[in-house]
Amino acid sequence: MGGRRPAITVGAVMLAILLASFVAGCGNAGQGQTQQAPMQQDEAGNFVLYVSNQSFAINPVDITVLIDGREAVRADFDVAGPSGPPQHNWVKHQFSLAPGTHKLTVTSKKGGAVLEQDFEITGKDWAVINYWYYPEGVTKGTPTPRHFTFQIQDTPIAFM
């Protein structure tokens, strides 16, 4: 029973490797893809963004801000600033954005909240993102679910 073995060419081996790589890549869609570089802050930028934790219940809270799918902010935010009173700690970030519509995504794993919202850049704009959470019976005041708020305007934001 000494049958002939088929001849295997270099081309056939290369084709098999190429197909195997393609199939393996399809099974890992979304994995290992290079992410866009984080946004760079620009002190002369036309978009001024303040971010704050307004919750005593989760302190600090992790907040990640994406603009058009690019990471703009990733940090832990304390409810009190290093030298200011509690809940009056807005951290400034400034970016250059093209005029037009942009997509904002704000997330917090520890805080259990997500906000997705489109916003419009018309010139120079100021915005603020706040994280809120007041559980019932733990803090004074009205219970407030875990959530973010986003406000944008074409004039500087006045903080108390």
Give the pLDDT confidence of 51-61 residue by residue, as tens digits: 999 998 999 99
For the chain, the domain total comes to 1
Q: d(Cα 8, Cα 75) in Å, to the nearest integer?
A: 56
Give the pLDDT confidence of 70-123 residue by residue, as tens digits: 999 999 999 986 666 667 789 999 999 999 999 999 999 999 999 999 999 999
Q: d(Cα 152, Cα 155) in Å, to the nearest integer?
A: 9
Rounded to two decimals, what is the model's pTM? 0.74
Tell me whether residue 108 is in a domain. yes
Tell me whether residue 54 is in a domain. yes
Q: d(Cα 113, Cα 131) in Å, to the nearest integer?
A: 8
DSSP H helices in the chain: 10-27
The structure tokens 């850049």 sit at 121
CATH of the domain at 74: 2.60.40
Tell me whether residue 10 is in a domain. no
- Structural domain including 125 reads 47-153
Strands 91-95 and 47-53: antiparallel
